[in-house]
């Protein structure tokens, strides 16, 4: 099977279904998700120790590793004995002959993040620096009580287009043989076209996070967990939410662009025969 040439326009309620699908995929193989996330974070920590390069390399690898989690979710859903879901799939984005394209997407991500940070810095640079360093002054504390600093708000809004452009881009590069630029373009407008579904998806996440926060807070109070131990206790909760998120990313790709191509043992190293003679312009009109 091949992904669709044009993104489908989905009902807004589909966004909520993506989150449910993410929960379902985690429930199928929770141990695999946990092991994969532990492997991922162990690698990030080891890379982070490196001077200078430790700041940029995780961002550079983000699109490729993000596709690895998508492949893991696909393998869990297909449940094929010939293609078991294992943490090794985390590197599948770099084993398909598309490593260069993943690096280009990573560079685009770094460029976007840099623009966002410069924009936020230009608006509230000194205040943001003090907050990040954990040394807010009285004016900062009063401003935080009044609301989120303007620089952070502008930064979060500026990050949205970057997230939209990268949401489907790695999948389109590998599964549709798109160039990185074309994949970023299609991804952005696929999200925009389904903005109602993505808004519903965001609201579902907000509800879930609020519920998890309330339950976690009550549990910590009952168990007497406080101080530094809270961060340790939140680790499994964070892994659970991350696993659900990656599963929902896969579900959104499947629903917007159709079922991805089935994988076989050697398909990750071959299957480059699809050319990208598809239309270079995205049909943006609603059907």
| Position 166 in a domain | yes
DSSP-derived letter for residue 267 is G
114 to 32, 56, 59: CA distances (angstroms) = 34, 11, 11
pTM, two decimals, is 0.83
Count of CB atoms within 10 A of residue 53's CB?
11
Give the pLDDT band (50/70/90) at residue 281: very low
* Residue range 22-59, pLDDT digits in tens: 999 999 999 999 999 999 999 999 998 888 888 899 99
Q: Token digits for 53?
A: 């390069």
Matching residue, tokens 């990185």 = 180
Do 138 and 122 form a contact (C-beta atoms < 8 A)? no
| Coil/strand/helix, residue 6 | coil
| Position 276 in a domain | no
Residues 6 or more apart whose CB falls under 8 angstroms from that of 247 comprise 21, 22, 23, 24, 25, 26, 33, 73, 76
Residues 161-186, mean pLDDT to the nearest whole number: 95
DSSP-derived letter for residue 278 is S
Would you state the pLDDT for residue 275? Answer: 42
| Position 6 in a domain | no
Rg of the chain over Cα atoms, rounded to whole angstroms, equals 20
Which DSSP string do the residues of 143-188 spell out, in sequence order? HHHH-S-HHHHHHHHHHHHHHHHHHSHHHHHHHS---HHHHHHHHH
Residues 258-285, mean pLDDT to the nearest whole number: 50
Question: Of 22, 85, 102, whose CA–CA distance to 263 is shortest?
Answer: 85
What is the rounded distance in angstroms from the CA atom of residue 200 to the CA atom of residue 204?
6
| Position 8 in a domain | no
218 to 29, 101, 214, 230: CA distances (angstroms) = 27, 46, 6, 12
What is the rounded distance in angstroms from the CA atom of residue 142 to the CA atom of residue 162?
31
Do 19 and 204 form a contact (C-beta atoms < 8 A)? yes
What is the rounded distance in angstroms from the CA atom of residue 182 to the CA atom of residue 118?
26
What is the extent of the structural domain holding 232?
A: 14-269
Whether residue 126 has pLDDT greater than 80: no
What is the rounded distance in angstroms from the CA atom of residue 249 to the CA atom of residue 194?
14
Whether residue 206 has pLDDT greater than 90: yes
Whether residue 97 has pLDDT greater than 90: no
| Position 283 in a domain | no
Residues 6 or more apart whose CB falls under 8 angstroms from that of 3 comprise 171, 172, 175, 176, 257, 258, 259, 260, 261
| Position 5 in a domain | no
| Position 226 in a domain | yes
Residues 263-279, mean pLDDT to the nearest whole number: 44
What is the rounded distance in angstroms from the CA atom of residue 165 to the CA atom of residue 90?
21
Total domains present in the chain: 1
| Position 2 in a domain | no
């Amino acid at each position: 099977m091949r992904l669709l040439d044009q993104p489908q326009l989905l009902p807004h309620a589909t966004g909520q279904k993506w989150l449910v699908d993410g929960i379902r995929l985690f429930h199928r193989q929770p141990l695999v998700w946990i092991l994969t996330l532990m492997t991922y974070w162990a690698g990030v920590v080891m890379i982070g120790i490196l001077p200078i390069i430790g700041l940029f390399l995780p961002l550079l690898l983000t699109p490729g590793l993000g596709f690895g989690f998508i492949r893991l979710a696909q393998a869990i859903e297909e449940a094929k004995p010939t293609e078991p879901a294992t943490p090794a799939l985390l590197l599948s984005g770099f084993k398909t002959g598309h490593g260069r394209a993943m690096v280009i997407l990573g560079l685009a991500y770094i460029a976007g993040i840099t623009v966002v940070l410069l924009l936020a810095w230009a608006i509230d640079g000194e205040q943001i620096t003090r907050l990040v360093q954990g040394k807010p002054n009285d004016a900062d504390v009063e401003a935080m009580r009044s609301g989120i600093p303007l620089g952070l708000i502008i930064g979060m809004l500026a990050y949205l287009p970057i997230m939209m452009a990268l949401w489907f881009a790695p999948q389109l590069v590998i599964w549709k043989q798109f160039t990185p630029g074309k994949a970023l373009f299609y991804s952005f407008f696929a999200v925009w076209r389904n903005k109602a579904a993505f808004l519903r998806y965001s609201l579902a996440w907000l509800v879930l996070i609020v519920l998890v926060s309330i339950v976690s807070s009550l549990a910590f109070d009952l168990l007497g967990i406080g101080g530094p131990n809270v961060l340790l206790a939140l680790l499994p909760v964070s892994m659970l939410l991350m696993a659900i998120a990656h599963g929902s990313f896969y579900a959104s790709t499947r629903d917007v662009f159709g079922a991805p191509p089935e994988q076989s043992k050697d398909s990750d190293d071959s299957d480059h025969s699809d050319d990208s003679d598809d239309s270079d312009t995205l049909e943006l009109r609603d059907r």
